[in-house]
């Protein structure tokens, strides 16, 4: 067995002049080197070769079908043929632990690669070359078959009991995601409802104040205690009956509910039109860093 020397560090106490601090002291250890995993390297090499062949098939089919579609924008449409069955290959790999989804992806891949091969064969026959028609169509089919062989080799078969256990774990994880999504929507709806209520209460309070003021002015005018005031008073600013929620409180509620910085800023400006957009955005960013952490 091969070994290699690694330099590591460990905390130790170091005293100078009667003052002790903890410092990192380097030391060396010998660790065994794992033998080369040739199976893994072989799979990676085979996958790389098949990927290269797939790229050749994509280019070939794009040129062939693009020419069949009179070139120009026809090349863009031709790219759809191979991109479609290559995309289904990825879906088949992602569904490797779900037999139902994997079978659907595999069957759909057969249909799509068959359509691609048929279009390439048609183009070759129009050119009057049977060899180009057959060989060109076989390129995509061979690429598809090689990917099936790769997937079959790396497939990890599961017993019926193990598959049921995996399905139960996936179902439990999906349930948690669903509950989290529902709770987020409910929280956002509650925040919006509270903001609407605050805005409505503010408007009602202002209307009540205006009605009470108009009623008092009317009584005073009838009794001759004062003259009728002008209809408008631009220099007079009326304070709301109840204080509005602070920008920080609104930002904290929006971020907690899962709203993005942009959505939170727009909602706050709707509730607090008197606030400055720059101040609102800065407050939302600060609350997002405080609640979600600096790296989220």
C-alpha span between 168 and 177 (Å, rounded): 14
Give me the average pLDDT of each 10-residue run along the chain (296 residues).
86 90 91 80 87 87 84 81 84 82 86 88 87 86 87 79 84 87 88 87 81 65 55 49 73 80 83 82 82 62
Residues 19-36 pLDDT 10s: 999 999 999 988 888 887
For 60-110, what is each residue's pLDDT tens digit?
888 888 888 877 778 888 888 878 888 888 888 888 777 788 888 888 888
User: Can you give the pLDDT at residue 227?
Assistant: 54
What pLDDT sits at residue 295? 46
Q: Report pLDDT for 218.
A: 60
> How far is Cα 235 from Cα 87, in angstroms, rounded to an integer?
67
Nearest Cα neighbor of 263 from 286, 280, 245, 244 is 280
Residue-level pLDDT at 23: 92
pLDDT computed for residue 214 by the predictor: 67
CA distance 207 to 215: 12
Q: According to the model, what pLDDT value does residue 19 have?
A: 92
Beta-carbon contacts of residue 272 (< 8 Å; ≥ 6 apart)? 244, 245, 247, 250, 280
C-alpha span between 63 and 168 (Å, rounded): 46
Dig out the tokens for 228 from the structure. 């009728």
CA dist., res. 53 & res. 117, Å (int): 15
Q: What is the CA radius of gyration of the chain?
A: 35
CA 22 from centre of chain: 43
């Amino acid at each position: 067995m091969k070994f290699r020397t690694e330099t590591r560090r460990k905390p130790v106490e170091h005293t100078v002049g009667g003052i002790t601090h903890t410092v990192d002291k380097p030391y060396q250890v010998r660790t065994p080197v794992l033998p080369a995993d040739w199976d893994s390297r072989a799979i990676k090499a085979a996958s790389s070769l098949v990927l290269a062949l797939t790229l050749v098939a994509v280019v070939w089919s794009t040129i062939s079908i693009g020419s069949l579609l009179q070139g120009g924008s026809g090349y863009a449409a031709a790219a759809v043929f191979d991109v479609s069955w290559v995309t289904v290959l990825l879906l088949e790999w992602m569904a490797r632990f779900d037999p139902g989804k994997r079978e659907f992806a595999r069957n759909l891949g057969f249909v799509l690669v068959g359509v691609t091969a048929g279009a390439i064969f048609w183009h070759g026959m129009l050119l009057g070359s049977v060899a180009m028609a057959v060989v060109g169509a076989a390129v995509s089919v061979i690429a598809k078959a090689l990917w099936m062989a790769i997937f079959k080799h790396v497939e990890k078969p599961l017993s019926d009991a193990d598959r049921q256990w995996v399905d139960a774990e996936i179902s439990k994880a999906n349930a948690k995601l669903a509950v989290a999504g529902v709770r987020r929507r409910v929280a956002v709806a509650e925040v919006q409802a509270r903001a609407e209520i605050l805005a409505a209460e503010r408007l009602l309070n202002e209307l009540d104040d205006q009605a009470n003021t108009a009623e008092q002015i009317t009584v005073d005018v009838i009794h001759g205690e004062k003259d009728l005031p002008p209809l408008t008073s631009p220099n007079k600013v009326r304070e709301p009956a109840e204080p509005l929620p602070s920008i920080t409180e609104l930002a904290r509620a929006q971020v907690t509910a899962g709203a993005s910085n942009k959505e939170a800023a727009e909602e706050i400006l709707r509730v607090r039109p008197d606030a400055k957009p720059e101040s609102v955005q800065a407050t939302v960013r600060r609350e997002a860093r405080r609640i979600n952490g600096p790296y989220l």
